[in-house]
């Protein structure tokens, strides 16, 4: 099996050695490192900082188990919303556009935040960044539960926004942690990044399936729809403890196996007595802060920007589909809320198994971009079958699950190849999340508003589906 770094040779994105030299020069400017210091194992720190280290599985195994669980609470809470759409509209006395605000509120703040959180993660570290994010998610989930109990629309929206401060940021931290532990090395260590990203997406689908499939049963068994908010809040609390366990685990590792942050590099420079190039006093501190803030962005190659710019609305179309799938099945097939919820949840099952397999194939053969047009064409077929035919809803749901498996992994697995520097990988994932969140917000609110302007009945989603077909048709041709 080839490493994920080697598979870049089969992709159109090839990292140029001159760009790498420029990146290293920028890193040395901001974080000068000239004196020799040693970690706990006797390895020279300047030989390990910023280098790809081969981590043994006795470290990678526990790390992977913890990292995969970091989004348990946030994914469960987010997926439980769509089966409750009709209930929320009825109990809170709101319209479809207002429901769209609820479903997209967690993404609203993430139209800008991931860029700054990515910079912070690059400088302060992924483990502490994920810890702070988990706390925000927990607080937001509690507010959502209180809002549900008091039937307060504003409090539910506020809770979703606070959850948004943490949900996308913790995914950025996850992505950087995966890059640290599982990317290949120049010395021949096998990289399994795409496989791990696929596994992460697959596990996320498990959380989504359980969240969607249990939202209505929880409501029925407890006699109150508010418990569909409180159960995710409890899981968010569990996630905080898991995150704390990972922080303790990482701090106990030998120094060369820990993630090297910008803050650590600065501390080592000061300890070694290296003179700062930014000058003394307050002005020097400001210059250093500015370099730290902008370093991550300046290290990002121009080719990377192709991904977020071309995928702005494409990610939003998929989010609009998944968040409205249960209600579309209920309206167009006259199904019960429970049946529609179960059917939509089935659409998450195939990606659980298929996405890691796709990631493994990407690690072996590359060719990620070849799947983009295929996936977009498959989405067009799914939308057409769901909205304009009378076939059993299971058929488009299963096809949609195949499309979901192919949807994001080609892009996520390409980011570490396009942005090889650890000094900017956090902000690169943050930018990607930023564009995805912006697209989700635009599409959620737009589809809700379009639906409100459409007469109610079995055709109420027709205009929305035509919009989704048009956007994915464009993607199928542009690739």
The answer to whether 4 and 217 are in contact (CB under 8 A) is no
DSSP state of 259: P
42 phi-psi bin (left φ>0, alpha ψ -120 to 50, beta other): left
Say whether 44 sits in a helix, a strand or coil: strand
Beta-carbon count within 10 A of 294 CB: 14
**With a cut of 50, which residues of the chain have pLDDT below it?**
1-17, 19-20, 24, 26-50, 186, 188
> Which pLDDT belongs to residue 146?
92
Quick one: what percent of the chain has pLDDT higher than 70? 76
Q: How far is CA 111 from CA 73, 294, 369, 415, in A?
A: 21, 19, 25, 19
Q: Write the pLDDT tens digit of every residue in 112-165.
A: 778 888 888 877 788 888 899 999 999 999 999 999 888 888 899 888 888 888
- Digit-coded pLDDT (tens) for 398-417: 888 888 888 878 888 788 87
Which pLDDT value is given to residue 265? 61
Give me the phi and psi of 259, to 5 degrees please.
-70, 125
Chain centroid to CA 328 = 25
The predicted structure's pLDDT at residue 474: 83
Please give the C-alpha separations between residue 120 and each of 123, 343, 420, in angstroms, as whole numbers: 5, 40, 18
CA separation for the pair 434, 427 (Å, rounded): 10
How many Cβ atoms sit within 10 Å of the Cβ of residue 348?
Answer: 27
Phi, psi (degrees; rounded to nearest 5) at 44: -60, 125
From residue 379, alpha-carbon distances to 93, 180, 273 in Å are: 33, 33, 58
Q: How many CB atoms lie within 10 A of CB 79?
A: 26
Query: How far is residue 369's CA from residue 440's CA, in Å, rounded to a whole number?
Result: 22
* pLDDT at residue 8, as a whole number: 38
Report the candidate in 359, 176, 139 with the shortest Cα–Cα distance to residue 250.
Answer: 176
Show the CA angle centred on residue 247, arms to residues 242 and 250, nearest 5°: 120
Q: Is the dihedral of CA 328, 332, 333, 338 positive or negative?
A: positive
Compute how many other C-beta atoms are within 10 angstroms of the C-beta atom of residue 174.
22
Is the separation of the CB atoms in 113 and 168 below 8 Å? Answer: yes
Of the candidates 141, 176, 174, the one whose C-alpha atom is nearest the C-alpha of residue 159 is 141
- 3 SS3 class: coil
User: Is 414 in a helix, a strand, or coil?
Assistant: coil
Given this model, what pLDDT does residue 33 score? Answer: 40
CATH fold of the domain at 6-478: Growth Hormone; Chain: A; (1.20.1250)
Check: CB of residue 211 under 8 Å from CB of residue 75.
yes
Angle, CA 415 vertex, CA 409 and CA 421 arms, to 5°: 150
List CB contacts of 472: < 8 A, sequence separation 6 or more. 314, 317, 376, 377, 379, 380, 383
- Residues in the chain, how many? 479
Listed residue (117, 125, 202) closest to 408, CA to CA: 202
pLDDT digit string, tens, across residues 191-206: 678 888 888 888 887 8
CA–CA dist 385, 381 (Å, integer)? 6
| Residue-range domain boundaries for the chain | 6-478
Q: Which of 165, 164, 183 is nearest to 175 (CA)?
A: 183
């Amino acid at each position: 099996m080839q490493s994920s770094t080697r598979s870049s040779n089969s992709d159109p994105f090839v990292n140029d050695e001159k760009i790498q030299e420029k990146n290293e020069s920028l890193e040395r400017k901001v974080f000068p490192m000239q004196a020799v210091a040693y970690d706990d194992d006797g390895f020279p720190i300047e030989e390990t900082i910023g280098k790809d280290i081969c981590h043994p599985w006795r470290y990678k195994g526990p790390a992977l188990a913890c990292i995969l669980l970091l989004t348990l609470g946030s994914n469960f809470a987010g997926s439980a919303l769509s089966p409750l759409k009709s209930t929320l509209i009825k109990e809170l006395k709101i319209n479809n556009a207002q429901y769209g605000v609820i479903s997209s509120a967690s993404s609203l703040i993430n139209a800008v935040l991931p860029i700054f959180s990515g910079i912070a993660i690059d400088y302060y570290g992924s483990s502490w960044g994920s810890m702070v994010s988990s706390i925000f998610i927990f607080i937001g989930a509690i507010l959502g539960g209180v809002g549900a109990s008091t039937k307060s629309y504003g409090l539910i929206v506020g809770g979703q926004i606070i959850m948004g401060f943490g949900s996308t940021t913790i995914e950025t931290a996850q992505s950087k942690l995966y890059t640290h532990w599982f990317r290949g090395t120049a010395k021949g260590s096998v990289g399994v990044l795409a496989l791990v990203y696929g596994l992460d997406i697959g596990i996320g689908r498990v959380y989504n399936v359980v969240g969607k499939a249990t939202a209505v049963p929880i409501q029925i068994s407890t006699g109150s729809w508010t418990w569909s908010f409180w159960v995710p809040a409890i899981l968010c609390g569990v996630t905080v403890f898991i995150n704390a366990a990972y922080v303790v685990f990482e701090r106990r590792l030998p120094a060369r196996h820990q993630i090297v942050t910008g803050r650590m590099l600065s501390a080592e420079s000061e300890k070694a007595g290296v003179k700062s190039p930014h000058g003394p006093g307050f002005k020097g501190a400001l210059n250093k802060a500015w370099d730290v803030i902008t370093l991550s962005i300046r290290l990002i190659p121009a080719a990377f920007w192709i991904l977020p710019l071309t995928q702005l609305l494409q990610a939003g179309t998929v989010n609009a589909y998944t968040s409205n799938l249960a209600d579309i099945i209920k309206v167009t097939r006259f199904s019960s809320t429970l049946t529609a919820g179960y059917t939509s949840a089935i659409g998450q099952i195939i990606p659980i198994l298929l996405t890691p397999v796709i990631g493994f194939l990407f690690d072996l053969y590359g060719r990620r971009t070849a799947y983009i047009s295929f996936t977009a064409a498959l989405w067009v077929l799914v939308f057409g079958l769901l909205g304009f035919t009378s076939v059993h809803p299971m058929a488009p749901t299963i096809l949609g699950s195949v499309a979901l498996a192919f949807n994001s992994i080609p892009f996520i697995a390409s980011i570490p190849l396009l942005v090889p520097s650890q000094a900017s990988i956090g902000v690169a994932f943050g930018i990607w999340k930023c564009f995805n969140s912006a697209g989700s917000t635009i599409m959620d609110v737009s589809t809700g508003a379009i639906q409100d302007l459409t007469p109610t009945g079995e055709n109420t989603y027709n205009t929305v589906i035509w919009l989704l077909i048009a956007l994915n048709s464009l993607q199928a041709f542009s690739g």
